[in-house]
Each structure stands twice: as C-alpha cells, then as structure tokens.
Amino acid sequence: MSSTLSVPKLRKLLLSLTVFTLTACDISQLNNPYPDTDHGQAILYSSFSERPKHLDPAVAYSSDEYGFIGQIYEPPLQYHYLKRPYQLQPLTATKLPTVRYLDKQGNMLPDSANDAEIAFSDYLITIKPGIAYQPHPAFSQNEPGRYLYHALSDEQLSAIDTLTDLPVQQSRTLTAEDYVYQIKRLAYPKTQSPIAELMAGYIDGFAEFAQATAEIPLQELKNQTLRGVQALSDHQYRIRIKGKYPQFQYWLAMPFFAPMPWEADVFYAQPGLKNKNITLDWFPVGTGPYWLQENNPNRRMVLAKNPHYHPDFFPTEGDPGDHEAGWLNDAGKPLPFVDKVVYTLEKESIPYWAKFLQGYYDASGIASDSFDQAVQFSGSGDPQLTQMMREKQIQLQTSVATSVFYMGFNMLDPVIGGDSEANRKLRQAISIAVDYEEFIAIFANGRGVAAQGALPPGIFGYQDGEAGINPVVYDWQNGKPRRKSLEKAKQLLAEAGYPNGIDPKTGEALLLYFDTTATGADDKSLMNWYRKQFEKLGIQLVIRGTDYNRFQEKMRSGAAQIFVWGWNADYPDPENFFFLLYGANSKVKQGGENAGNYANPEFDRLFEQMRNMDNSPERQRIIDRMQNILRQDAPWLFGYFPKDFALLHSWYKNLKPARMINNRLKYSRIDTELREQKREEWNKAEFWPLLLGFALLAVAIYPAVKAYRRQQQETKS
C-alpha cells in the first residue's frame, strides 16, 4: 500500500468533516467571555481601561473612581436623575439642608442678611432613619462592643485572601456621627484628601483640626472634636461654613461627604490586612445600592446588590417630553433594577469595540478609530448611526459635557498677556483666526460645540442663541453664529501693532510659543494645524513640546506663553467655571486653578458678588457682564465644549446622559431575554474557513509526502 490516503479513508474523512461542519454551524457563543452561570441573570456588563487609583471617598476624585464608589457610598444629597438643568434632591437626607446665617457672635441672621454681615452659615442635615450598611466584617460582633475582627490573629490572617473569607458579616444602622467622622477624615493629614486645603478655607475649625491631629493615630480620630462639624442627634448633624458659600450644597452630593463608619477605619488599619492589599482604599463600606463583591483591579470588579439597601424608587417626574421619550416607563418602581455589574479590564480599544458589537458589553463610548464604523453626519451636520449600527438596533445618545477645553494665554507674558489695548487686540485676532469649528470637525470627529464663553450648556448662566454669542469672534447670521472674517482678525492684528503679522521690533514675523505635552507622532498633524491657524495671520507659532512634568513646571512658574487646558466641572454652578479666571486663584501667584493668571478687578468684583447668589435674573445679569468682560479681554480662546457620544444596545434601558450624576447605575435596567437572543444570533461560530485552510495545507503537502515516500522506496530497493 503505497498511497498515503486510500479512497475509503478519504471518504470517511470528508464525511466526518461535513458532519462536524454542519453541526458546528449551530454552536453559538464559543467566544462568550463570561461564565455559563451568568446566563439569564440581570447583570450589566461594562469595562474599565485602567484600575482606579482610589476607592476611599475621602481621596477618590476622578470620574473613573466615581463610577464605582458613586454606587457604594451615599452622600446626603443627589441630583435628580431626569431633570435638567441639574437639581439637587435628598438621598439619605430627609430634605435639602436647612441653612442658617450667623453673625460673628453666633446670633442668627435673617435670610435677607447681606454677605458682609454673615460670618458663618450653618447647614443642618437630617438623615432618614433605618438606613443600614452593607454586610461587612468590620461590624461583626459576638456581643455588644466586642468586635470579632478588629484584632485579627496571625492564624486568622493566614486564612484570608479577600474580605469574604471572614465568615461573619454583619451590618449596622447609619448615624449622623458617620457623616461627621468622614469630614474628620477629610481633615486628617494622613488621609491626604485632595480637597483638604480647599475645605480648610470653608469649614469652620477644619484647618485647626488638621494641625491638631497631624500626629495622632487613626484609631483616635473619632474621639477628636472638629469645631465646625457636630452630630446633634443620631439623625441630625450640622456643618458650619465660614461666611456664605451657597455652592457647598453641591459638595454634599459628592462622595467626599458620604458617611464612613469608624469601625471600617479600625478594621482596615490592621497591618496584616494591609500586606494583603485589603485596605479601605480598595474595599469600600457603604450604604448604597451596590457593594463591591469582587475587587480584582487587575482583572475584574463586580458590584452586587446591597441586601440592606433602603427603599428607593425611580423618579415619577422629569423634564417635559421625558414621558413621551420613555424615560418615565419605570416611574415609581423600586431601585436598583440590575442585580450585578461586572466591570472587566479592557486595556485596548480594538477588542473592547469588537466585544461591544458581539453584545458582550451593554454600552460603549466611541473611540476615534471606530468612529466611522458607528456614526456618520447627515447633510445638516447631525450625527446618525451607520447602517451596521441600525441593523443591530443600537441607540446613539449625545450630550454636551459640563467641561471645557480652551486655549489659554499666559496673562503675565509681556507679548501676549497683560491688559494693554494692543495685547488685547492681538488675543482677539488670534481668537478669530484659530478656527475651532474646523478643529472639532477634524480632530474631534464632530464631537464638540465651539464655545462662545466660559460656561457650557446646562450650567446656569449659559445663554443660547444670539444673546449668547461672543461678539468679538462671531456675527449672528441666518440664525446661527458665523466666525468673523480673517480680514477682521488682520485688522485687529494691525491695530495691535503687528501689520500682516510682522513684529516691528525685528521686522520679521511675530514669534509666539505654544507649550504642549503632545509630542507623539500622532500629534504631529494637530501641531501642524495650530501652526497653520497662526500662519493665517502671518504669525509664526513655535511648538515647544515637553513632557508632562516639565509642562506643569512651566505652568507653575509662568514660563508658558500659549497652552491648551481643560476643566471638568465639580458641580453644575457657574462659580465652578468662573473661578478658573478669578485673580485670587492665579497659578503662578497662588498655586490656584487660574492657569492663565488672568486678573481683572471688575471681573473679580463681579465674581465675588455672583458666587454667593442664588440663581436669579440678577445673577444672570452679572454673569452676562462677566462673560462680556472675558470676551473683550480674551484671556482664553474659548475652544470647545466636548460632546459625549454613547452607544447603547437595544436591551439597555433608562440610561439618560448625565455626567454630573455619580449614582446613575441604580436606574439602569437590562432586558436580559432580548440580550440572550441577540447574542445567540450574533455569535454563531464559523468553522469552515479553518477546515478549508487545513484542506489547502494538506493539498500543498501531499505531493511532497508522496515524493518523499517514493524516494524512500527507491532507496530501499
């Protein structure tokens, strides 16, 4: 038998392959990254690209971190999920805080008292009774006052890898003292809270408390007294603010002011637990709708429903049109809807996008390399889903973020800064020439709105339409803003003393310097674009690329001339944007957030007046004046407000765009049946290309094998 494959063998093989191929056609979800036990459960699947740095509510300060702890910790207030502009409402509090104004002697003042009279503002907060913490070993006692796990032995420690290895997990009721304790933690220097310095300027006694507790051990913190913060009863506490600071109520909706049980600090302070990376910074203890069931920031983080979560319901009212849009379909239903949320580490955008399209992630942002696959713009400039997305019934949500990206001018610089008329005109000319509409189209895939001032839409004080345009840069034509002509910019430049961009001192093109950290190969086109924008005026822009650390150093020392900067709002109030231009916040002089070191006495005076006001027509008038001063002075080239684009599968319900809202996961609902059906449909395995490949390989090798055998036979004979 010299033939390698006889005819009967070949037939058998072909038959097996055909049977295998036919049966394999029905195999679906071989590519499912989740365990079979997840099947049919109300689980929401999401991802994270970088492990969160902190999960301690006193330290965490980024949106990534808030994505987790916003579901676990509950500050006294929250934002209404449906109403816009954002409105505060009670969360664990029974109502919004009662604010009382006091003079220097501590006497109560009427609400109408003027700012100069008010020495202190007392915020009285009453919390709902009966709220309980998630089950946690820090609360476990074998008899009152005797904690099971506050002094773990070596033997106990050796048996622990995660918190769930401790068998007894108890709970306790939330008290006002827990909120007070958290504020003490904010002040405690060893906590290193990023807002400690800021709060020292507002909360009475905060700075003194920080000094007094600098050297004490953590275990003694709860026994120290913080003058301005006091629990008045089990369910009421008071925070005393220096002067008047109406924006403080927004801080009360942030995790910084969520409650922290002292037991948690004592429990996690054990060195044996720290060595196993079991710390408060990684294992939160909260009263929220979810608790962190699995914390492996290297792979996966899982939030599970808190069995002790207090009664909470989907809002029954929203904005006009919300009912018609289906946002109120679940009105009045108990929260949360989803039993579990699984976050998987996904470092690269390509596999993440592919998994979203396969139905293994429920929602997705849009990376620039997959933008064209997902979105196209209509003739009128509106974003629309592509055919492929529509076939999958994917929904697109867009919303303008409460953020701003601007080009800043260093106002301390002798050429571009200062308040001389010539330099002001130079900045105005540049503001016209740098075409941010073009920038948004080229570099942001259309995901942005050119800014007309410092306030983005959704923030009180923002004006839409003709009333809200920047008259220095735009004209109102045919119902929309139109950028002024380049001729106008050149005229301003000539008036500034640089006709055709020529610097009279040198007789050559005016040299300006742009400091940036964008030094990669991918950034080259962007830098060229900036150069070309300035070239339109005859100005030569020199790009000074540097690493992040050196760039920060230049900003701190005032060595940068022109730069690009951004800001994400902490809370939806105009004060949180205008303070970036307040003279007393100069980065060079005070180390503050005013990166351009802008200082205008009139603007500063209006800012001080505006920041303490409630939203009112009078406040709007002041804001309009401030915007006009900024537009004339042009310390910023206002840049753009980014637009968030989110893609949701058809089974994902109730996700209203709301970047300010940290605890929005509890409102999300998943239609699990529909998801299973779609996944099944979209993930049928394909075997035939593999089989074809093997067959081709066999065909290619067969003659060689045959020749080799013949050669062997000949050698033998």
Partner 1 sequence: MMSYIIRRFLYALPLLMAVNVLTFVLFFVVNSPDDMARMQLGQKHVTEQAIQNWKHQHGYDLPLLWNSGQAGGKCLSDTIFYQKSVNLFLFDFGISDSGRNIGTDIRQRMWPSLALALPSLAVGLLVNITLALLMVLFRNTYVELGSSVLCVMLMSVSSLFYIIGGQFVIGKLLKLVPISGYDSGLAAIKFLILPVMISVVAGIGSGARWYRTLFLEEVEKDYVRTARAKGLTETQVLFKHVLKNAMIPILTGVVVVLPLLFMGSLIMESFFSIPGLGSYTIDAINRQDFAIVRSMVFLGSVLYVAGLLLTDISYTLVDPRVRLS
Residue ranges in contact with partner 1 by CB under 8 A: 30-33, 35, 50-51, 53-54, 61-62, 189-190, 192, 194-198, 274-277, 279, 281-282, 296, 298-299, 344-348, 350-352, 354-355, 357-358, 360, 547, 549, 552, 570, 591, 593, 683-687, 689-690, 700-701, 704, 707-708, 712
CB of 703: closest distance to partner 1 in angstroms? 9
CB of 570: closest distance to partner 1 in angstroms? 8
CB of 553: closest distance to partner 1 in angstroms? 8
CB of 511: closest distance to partner 1 in angstroms? 29
CA atoms within 13 A on the CB side of 556: 7
- CA atoms of 433 and 113, how far apart (whole Å): 47
Alpha-carbon torsion, ordered 555, 558, 564, 570, to 10 deg:
60
CB of 343: closest distance to partner 1 in angstroms? 12
Number of neighbours of residue 343 by Cβ within 10 angstroms: 20
* Cα 230 to the center of its chain, rounded Å: 32
Give the residue with the Cβ less far from partner 1, 124 or 195: 195
Would you give the end-to-end CA distance of the chain in angstroms?
A: 15
Give the residue with the Cβ less far from partner 1, 81 or 356: 356
Give the residue with the Cβ less far from partner 1, 99 or 160: 160
- The answer to whether 282 touches 264, Cβ cutoff 8 Å, is no
Give the residue with the Cβ less far from partner 1, 301 or 496: 301
**Cis status of the peptide bond prior to 336, with omega within 30 of 0:** yes
Give the residue with the Cβ less far from partner 1, 233 or 368: 368
Give the residue with the Cβ less far from partner 1, 16 or 277: 277
Give the residue with the Cβ less far from partner 1, 192 or 485: 192
Give the residue with the Cβ less far from partner 1, 363 or 493: 363
The set of residues, in sequence order, having a beta carbon less than 8 Å from that of 574 and lying 6+ positions away, is 455, 459, 460, 461, 610, 623
The set of residues, in sequence order, having a beta carbon less than 8 Å from that of 641 and lying 6+ positions away, is 400, 401, 403, 404, 405, 448, 449, 451, 456, 457
Give the residue with the Cβ less far from partner 1, 194 or 468: 194
DSSP character string of 409-429: E-TTSTTT-SS-HHHHHHHHH
Pairing of strands 290-296, 236-242: unpaired
Question: Residue 627: which of 405, 458, 462, 430 has the closest Cα?
Answer: 462
- CA atoms of 74 and 405, how far apart (whole Å): 30
CB of 592: closest distance to partner 1 in angstroms? 9
CB of 364: closest distance to partner 1 in angstroms? 14
CB of 198: closest distance to partner 1 in angstroms? 5
CA atoms within 13 A on the CB side of 156: 15
CB of 256: closest distance to partner 1 in angstroms? 11
Give the residue with the Cβ less far from partner 1, 524 or 684: 684
Give the residue with the Cβ less far from partner 1, 53 or 625: 53
Question: Residue 294: which of 341, 364, 361, 355 has the closest Cα?
Answer: 341
CB of 28: closest distance to partner 1 in angstroms? 8
Give the residue with the Cβ less far from partner 1, 53 or 536: 53
- The answer to whether 492 touches 522, Cβ cutoff 8 Å, is no
CB of 325: closest distance to partner 1 in angstroms? 34
User: Where would I find the H helices in 217-328?
Assistant: 248-251, 262-268, 271-275
CB of 529: closest distance to partner 1 in angstroms? 25
- CA atoms of 603 and 599, how far apart (whole Å): 8
Give the residue with the Cβ less far from partner 1, 568 or 632: 568
- Max intra-chain CA distance, the chain: 119
CB of 331: closest distance to partner 1 in angstroms? 36
- Burial label, 426 (beta-carbon count in 10 A; 0-12, 13-18, 19+): buried
Tokens matching residue 341: 């949320």
> What share of residues in the chain are helix, strand, coil (percent, to 5)?
35, 20, 45
CA distances from 74 to 132, 257, 413, 522 (A): 11, 8, 45, 41
